[in-house]
Amino acid sequence: MDGVNDTAEIVKDFLIESLEGLDQVDQDLMDLEREGPDAERIGRIFRCVHTLKGTCGFLGFSVLESVTHVGENLLVELRDGTTAVTPEVVDALLALVDAIRLMLNLIEQTGTDGEPTFQALIARLTALTREHADAHGAAAAAAASMPTSETAEGTHPPIGELMVARGDVTASDVSAALHEQEQSDALLGEILVQRGYTSPAAVREALDVQENNVDIKSSAIADSSIRVDVALLDKLMNLVGELVLARNQLLQSDGRFDAAAHTGTTQRLNLITTELQEGVMKTRMQPIGNVWNKFPRVVRDLAQACGKQVVLEMAGAETELDKTIIEAIKDPLTHIVRNAVDHGVETPIERVRHGKSPEGRLIIRAFHEGGKVNIEIRDDGRGIDPEAIKAKAISMGAVRADAAAQMSDREALHLIFHAGLSTAKTVTNVSGRGVGMDVVRTNIERIGGSLEVSSVVGNGTTLRIKIPLTLAIIPGLIVTTGGSRFVIPQVNLLELVRLEGADAVARIERVYDAPVLRLRGRLLPLITLTEALGVDRHCGKSTDDVTNIVVVQAEGTAFGVIVDAINDTEEIVVKPLSVQLKGIAAFAGATIMGDGRVALILDVHGLAQSRGLLARGDRQAESRVDQRAQEAHSQQLLLVAVDDTHIVAFPLDAIARLEEIRSSQIEWTGSQEVVQYRKRILPVVRLDEMLEGIIPSLGRAESMPLIVYEDSTRSIGFAVQRILDVVAVEMDTVGASGTGMVARTAVIQGRVTDVLDVQSLLATLDGRLPASLDTVHHDEAAHA
Amino acid sequence: MPETTQFCTFRVDDLFLGIDVQRVQEVIRSLEITSVPLAPSSVEGLINLRGQIVTAIDLRRRLGLTSRLSEHEPMHVVVRGDDGAVSLMVDSIEDVIEVDPRDFERVPESIEPSVRDLLAGVYKLDTGLLLALQTDRAVAVTTATI
């Protein structure tokens, strides 16, 4: 038995190693094609194929060995310079790589390298090899002209071989069908169906696989393992060591309880846990390049098939993401890239006619920003014509004509994500994008991401994707309703609205029987969570004169959820619901709270759907588009009064939370005012003292609002006199640019307002704040 | 001599029920339960079992019996399933007993069909009848079958 297991283990290693090596070969081959012969690259390709041949010979995969053998022969000649690197040679070698991948996947699934013998490919490779071409010229030429046209294209695995590999038909069926194909013009799939060898559905499926090339059935083995930096593992090991020490301390203190020592240990435990959590998350982080390394090939093949020239540039391949997210964005990204080449970039002739270089450019960029990963896919193609999209949307009944007339170009562009539009083939021809973009958007949003598109007709299209780093631990807002706690994921959160007394009665109105809220001039549909969940409103204590509304969005539709109380934001660990509860659309999962009790995580999307908020057709689609466009164009600002006369604006995205503190809470460390806040020491900076030309007046106030800023290294509370409002201001239309801590000055709501530059504000503070507060070790500082 | 099977036995209302001991992960006293709105009625809620979130099913409601008196504290029989652990809430726990397959009999046809579906059979013991629970069916509560 051991022997069998050993062999299985060796085969597994062989598969993982080979698949990794093939990715590199793909890349090298394309570099060769673009930049001409390079001894080092050829050497690398040769070594990989050679190793592969040796190992599979040893393991007894004879078909694989025979195919790699002819490939190796060709590569030897390339290495020695006796055969030149021509496009045909590269094509053939890429076809070889595909064939090897196909067989490796076969080996993984079935344990053997299968029935397809790849005769056509072998003949093709042999024909290109000079020595053999001389000797067997005639035979090779005959073989190369064999009717397996799919192989000759070199870009996709032949449909026959694919179907054999998938177990749909046998190899003999295929060869019979191929024989018949020689006599007729029929497609191989058609013949197979006519002869009753297989079903139309199976052919369609195989064609899908072929279309998407090999990456759709990428190896499960390669996906099941992960490479981790040894230094990271060492660090984790050290942390676990510390954890054990902390545990020992806790165990020893058992019985004779010493409050001070206990608190110290708990603090250490807290630190260790946080670092351990971060460390373990890091082990799951993979560079996004793992997905991207397939793109050069996809772009090359597709560009060739469409008769286009496309240069692919990629930046930020080292940007890291959780493995599950990498998996989840693989297909949407591939789809977008294919779309860009297929529909975005024009043919060389068309490009030259428009005064562009014949080569189209496709730029993919990834970078971290604000705790999220941004991916940008930009082409310099023909762009999307908003008028064409509008016309299509109207003709399909997705949007009313009068509504379309009022749409901005930006709003119109976002119609490409509309489900109805995407299925129409004609849109593809008119606009360039559309097929399956709604699916792309759904997939991206499912992992908590968002999608933005911008385009200039004639100049190209840019898609921007924002996705979270991880899914396992997410920030969420804890709310209470009907006596139970629920978590609303922060990604769905737009804002919180609190209405008191008469205000609530006045602002919540009804359209027929649906409650709506007037929020900054727009009507926001409302859901009462107790009603939506069918629980009794009055089993929890709720003060009747306050209405708490959590404004959330799903698929771009904003709506308000009325809850009894809003508690706090917390990092929660997402756990799936058991099969008994899977069918409830309103919940995305569950989590365990600090007190050990279970709380349910709301699925905002499901909630909206169950209340019929997403199914209302065009009106929703419009407002969704509208809102997105608005977000992209404008900046959200928090207006605050610093003293009686000065109003300044804080960029909303720089603010973590708003709090209210009392003067009596303020303590001192050295000359710095601080408050204890969420078990940390939060330095308090009085904004009036920081800004020039303002006479400090906050000192006398009994309580004051605190704007909490947080980043990875520090948190600071800015004390102000009053918080006035949140406004959205057009980015590029406001005011004169300012100096120093003021980014610019603008007239907002009829008053002259300084918009603060948070970065320079922080830079000014860097020297002022005590160093110990600038680090994450707030907890330790508290007990120093 | 046929092999005997061990059953973990418990009481629900006046029924004497048992589950193959191999399927039982553990038996615990009542825990704090978070109820799940919109869930099937027999799902009592979710419990935190040492960091694992487990669905608790009230066997009384699953078997169509009257509700448990509030002062009576239920017990959780946590059973292993293909989709993770599920807790079955029962009135009280009895012994683990050995049963002889020769005492096995199929569920009488006269029993209410909804309940009969959940039972694998009946063992005739000296002390009375032991109803063997069809565990997979008992935990197979979905939102569609409310």
Note the pLDDT of residue A182. 58
Sign of CA dihedral A221, A222, A226, A229: positive
CATH number for the domain harbouring residue A738: 2.40.50.180
A551 falls in which pLDDT band (50, 70, 90)? very high
Predicted local confidence at residue A170, as pLDDT: 57
Least confident of A26-30, A141-145, B102-106: A141-145
Comparing A716 with A728, the larger pLDDT belongs to A716
Q: What is the CATH number of the domain that holds A59?
A: 1.20.120.160
Higher-scoring residue by pLDDT: A176, A647: A647
Cβ separation B86–A580 shorter than 8 A: yes
Among A38-52, A359-373, A396-410, A421-435, the least confident range? A421-435
A346 and A453 together in one domain: yes
- DSSP conformational letter for A580: G
Mean pLDDT for A679-690 is 81
Give me the CATH number covering residue B53.
2.40.50.180
Instruction: Give exposure, A134-161, as e/b (b: 16+ Cβ within 10 Å).
Output: eebeeebeebbeeebebbbebbbbbbbb
Number of cross-chain residue pairs from A and B with Cβ atoms under 8 Å apart:
71
Kindly state whether residues A371 and A483 are assigned to the same domain: no
Mean pLDDT over residues A162-191, rounded? Answer: 60
CA distance A638 to A722: 11
Domain assignment of residue B84, yes or no: yes
User: Mind spelling out the 3-state secondary structure of A311-351?
Assistant: EEEEECCCCEEEHHHHHHHHHHHHHHHHHHHHHHCCCHHHH
Mean pLDDT across A652-660: 81
Residues of A in contact with B57 (CB under 8 A): 580
Which ipTM score applies to this complex?
Answer: 0.88
Residues A372 and A411 in one domain: yes
Say if the Cβ atoms of A583 and B143 lie within 8 Å. yes
Distance between B114 CA and the closest CA of chain A, angstroms: 18
Q: What number of other Cβ atoms are within 10 A of residue A16's Cβ?
A: 17
Cβ–Cβ under 8 Å, residues A344 and A294: no
Residue A492 pLDDT greater than 50, yes or no: yes
Domain extent for A359: 286-422+435-468
B94 is a domain residue: yes
Residue B135 inside a domain? The answer is yes
For the ranges A331-340, A503-512, A646-655, the one whose mean pLDDT is highest: A331-340
Task: For A294-308, write each residue's pLDDT tens digit.
Answer: 888 888 888 888 888
Handedness of CA A312, A317, A321, A326 (dihedral sign): positive
Same domain, A70 and A189: no
CB-CB contact of A415 with A391 (8 Å): no
Give the tens place of pLDDT for each residue, A694-717. Answer: 666 666 677 888 888 887 677 888
Whether residue A739 is contained in a domain is answered as yes
**To which residue do tokens 């900046």 refer?**
A635
Nearest-CA distance B98 → chain A (Å): 31
Same domain, yes or no, for A650 and A595?
Answer: no
Nearest Cα residue to A246 out of A233, A262, A260, A235? A262
Residues in chain A: 784
Considering only residues A742 and A288, tell me which one the structure prediction assigns the higher pLDDT: A288
Q: Do A586 and B84 touch (CB under 8 A)?
A: no
Instruction: Dump strand ranges (E) for A647-735.
Output: 647-651, 657-662, 667-669, 672-677, 680-686, 703-710, 715-719, 722-730
Q: How many CB atoms lie within 10 A of CB B6?
A: 14
Same domain, A111 and A181: no
Q: Which chain A residues contact residue B53 at CB under 8 A?
A: 575, 577-578, 590-592, 598
- Shared domain for A636 and A706, answered yes or no, is yes
- A340: nearest Cα among A314, A300, A378: A378
Q: Mean pLDDT, to the nearest integer, of B116-143?
A: 87
With bands split at pLDDT 50, 70 and 90, how would you rate the model's confidence at A176? low
- State the smallest CA–CA distance between residue B141 and chain A in angstroms: 5
Helix, strand, coil percentages, rounded to 5, for chain B: 15, 50, 35
User: How many structural domains comprise chain B?
Assistant: 1
- Tally the C-alpha atoms within 13 A of residue A118's C-alpha that lie toward its C-beta: 31
pTM of the model: 0.54
A655 shares its domain with A751: yes
A533 touches chain B (CB under 8 A): yes
Q: At A298, which CATH number?
A: 3.30.565.10
Assess whether A463 and A482 both reside in one domain. Answer: no
Give pLDDT tens digits for A111-134: 777 666 677 788 888 887 765 544
Cβ-based burial of A360 (10 A; exposed 0-12, middle 13-18, buried ≥19): buried
How far away is chain A from the Cα of B48, in angstroms, using its nearest Cα? 6
Q: Mean per-residue pLDDT for A670-697? A: 78
CB contact under 8 Å between A598 and B47, yes or no, is yes
Does the structure show a pLDDT above 70 at A181? Answer: no
A605 and A643 both lie in a single domain: no
User: Chain A partners of B39 at a C-beta cutoff of 8 Å?
Assistant: 580-581, 584
Residue A627 lies in a domain: no
Same domain membership, residue A310 and residue A205 = no
Set of chain B residues whose Cβ sits within 8 Å of the Cβ of A480: none
Residue B144 lies in a domain: no
Write out the two tokens for A448. 């908590």
pLDDT band at B76 (very low <50, low <70, confident <90, very high): very high
Highest mean pLDDT among A19-23, A86-90, A394-398, B39-43: B39-43
Give the domain-ending residue among A212, A239, A254: A212
Q: For residue A610, give the chain B residue with the closest CA.
A: B38
In a domain, B145, yes or no: no
| Residue A657 shares a structural domain with residue A738 | yes
**Residue A142: inside a domain:** no
> Mean of the pLDDT values across residues B9-13?
92
Q: Do you know the residue count of chain B?
A: 146
Domain count, chain A: 5
Take residue B74 and report the two structure tokens written for it: 């239920």
pLDDT tens digits, residue range A228-260? 888 989 999 999 999 998 888 888 776 677 778
- Chain A: nearest CA to B30, how far in angstroms? 13
Percent pLDDT > 90 in chain A is 5
Residue A665 backbone dihedrals phi, psi, to 5 degrees:
-80, -15
A34 part of a folded domain: yes
Cα(A412)–Cα(A145) distance, integer angstroms: 50
pLDDT reported for residue B8: 94
C-alpha–C-alpha distance, residues A158 and A87, integer Å: 20
Look at residues A778, A762, A774, A750 and name the one whose alpha carbon lies nearest to residue A687. Answer: A762
Structure token pair of residue B142? 């979905």
Task: Give the model's pLDDT for residue A628.
Answer: 44
Average per-residue pLDDT for chain A: 76
- Tell which of A133, A150, A175 closes a domain: A133
Residue B105 covered by a domain: yes
Give the residue-averaged pLDDT of A742-758: 79
The pLDDT score that the predictor gives to residue A157 is 52
B26 in a structural domain:
yes
Nearest to A339 by CA among A455, A239, A205: A455
**Segments forming the whole domain that contains residue B12:** 5-139
Name the least confident of A649-663, B16-30, B132-146: B132-146
| Separation between Cα atoms, residue A253 and residue A282, nearest integer Å | 33
pLDDT category of residue A204 using cuts at 50, 70 and 90: low
b/e code A587-601 from CB counts within 10 Å (16+ = b): bbbbbbeeeebbbbb
Q: Is residue A190 part of a domain?
A: yes
Instruction: Give the residue from B31, B52, B53, B79 with the most A CB atoms within 10 Å of its CB, the best one to mutate.
Output: B53
Any B CB within 8 A of A539 CB:
no
pLDDT at A261: 79
Q: Do B53 and A587 touch (CB under 8 A)?
A: no
Per-residue burial over B28-59, b if 16 or more Cβ lie within 10 Å, else e, is: beebebbbbbbbbebbbbbbbbeeebbbbbbb
Mean pLDDT, rounded, for A137-156: 41
